[in-house]
Amino acid sequence: MRCVILFVFLLLSCTAVLLSCTAVLLKHNKDGSNNVSATNIGLNYGLLGDNLPSPANVISLYKSIGITKIRIFDPNTEVLNALRSHQDIGVTVGIKDQDLAALAASEDAVKHWFATNIEPYLADVNITFITVGNEVIPGEIGPQVLPVMRSLTNLVKSRNLQILISTVVAMSNLGKSYPPSVGKFTPQACEQLVPVLKFLSLTNTPILVNIYPYFAYASNPLNISLDYATFNTKDVVVKDGPMQYSNLFDAIFDAFVWAMEKEGVKRISMVVSETGWPSAGNGYLTTPDIAARYNGNFIKHVESGKGTPKRPNCSIEGFLFATFNENQKPEGTEQNFGLYNPTDMKPIYKLF
């Protein structure tokens, strides 16, 4: 999420004109809790809080609401141990950014990392993805991503393991994004990201992308319609040649697709590793009602299976951010993206 501000400034310069494939079932329990049964919807499980429930209780929560995919940001042993024998939950495990330098320098270091952090759980934890870095491309340590991905890919292939190796990127890689068809990567993204994308194309592995319409809207609410930002209108807001957009998420998603195609990468799939809306922290722009509207409509969008104008009828796979409000994040909206209060595990709002 930390790279979204750069993208916001880019998007603001282009959005002044905005004045004018599996099923998901969402239902509510009688006690008001959220019940999401979805093969294409997952949850991010962050741990930056000092009042979070135990991992065992969190796993029980996931099972009670039908979540079958989660993403953790590092190979936390307590969380992974709690996931033992819950192989109906697929887990995306991240590598810490600060570990990349040592891993990029040595294949033996990669083997040791895998033996320490993944190997002990292979028998009874369903690890589906390993992500190499979180929003480090483009950036100073961006060049370290591809060597680690190569080493890990070779390792899992040599073991015949069905674990996909990828990385997570933000929309700050886009130098142009409006209209979506002019989507183009920045020079630094071309240098660091495009080789990664071409490698993923060879391994038939998705790129993971973080997409936050909230940040664009919050930076210019006068010129970006809230309904457009929260999937709450069927009216066409942006016409891009034959393609018509009624929500900002699709426009951002497709701008990234267009940027990939301009670099010769045409068949790589995209998993939305993070999306969400804070329920507090920025006044009237961040209320539980608006957060519920965005997240609920995102789930419905996934449920529809219609994809985006650029990739129609291609089901979107995504992870909502996040499970809990995390009080050790920076004050403001960063602490308020959670669906649940950590102290009592009650929903902050009902999804619909």
Structure tokens at 173: 């890689």
274 is catalytic: yes
Give the pLDDT of residue 117. 98
* Segment 14-34, tens digit of pLDDT: 443 333 343 333 333 333 445
Instruction: Report the distance separating Cα 296 and Cα 348, nearest Å.
Output: 13
pLDDT in tens, 228-242: 999 999 999 999 999
Here the tokens at position 300 are: 């419905």
Any residues with CB less than 8 A from the CB of 16 and at least 6 apart, and which? 223
In terms of Cβ atoms closer than 10 Å to its own Cβ (0-12, 13-18, 19+), residue 295 is buried
Report the distance separating Cα 11 and Cα 174, nearest Å.
9
CB atoms within 10 A of CB 280: 16
Strand pairing category for 174-176 and 184-185: antiparallel
Nearest to 215 by CA among 156, 282, 142: 282
The pLDDT value given to residue 10: 46
Structure confidence at residue 154 (pLDDT):
98
What average pLDDT does the chain have? 91
Instruction: Please give the chain's pLDDT, 352 residues, in tens.
Output: 654 444 443 444 344 333 334 333 333 333 344 555 446 899 999 999 999 999 999 999 999 999 999 999 999 999 999 999 999 999 999 999 999 999 999 999 999 999 999 999 999 999 999 999 999 999 999 999 999 999 999 999 999 999 999 999 999 999 999 999 999 999 999 999 999 999 999 999 999 999 999 999 999 999 999 999 999 999 999 999 999 999 999 999 999 999 999 999 998 999 999 999 999 999 999 999 999 999 999 999 999 999 999 999 899 999 999 999 999 999 999 999 999 999 999 999 987 4
Q: What is the pLDDT of residue 37?
A: 45
Q: Which residue's entry shows tokens 């992308």?
A: 209
Q: Among 107, 135, 140, 261, which one carries the catalytic annotation?
A: 135
The residues, ordered by sequence, that sit 6+ positions from 148 with a Cβ below 8 Å of its Cβ are 95, 100, 103, 104, 110, 132, 133
Give the pLDDT confidence score for residue 11 in this predicted structure: 46
CA-CA-CA-CA torsion sign (12, 97, 167, 139): positive
Do the strands 184-185 and 207-210 form a parallel or antiparallel pair, or are they unpaired?
unpaired
DSSP 279: S
pLDDT at 5 (0 to 100): 42
The CA distance from 200 to 194, in Å, is 10
Catalytic residue among 261, 263, 274, 331: 274
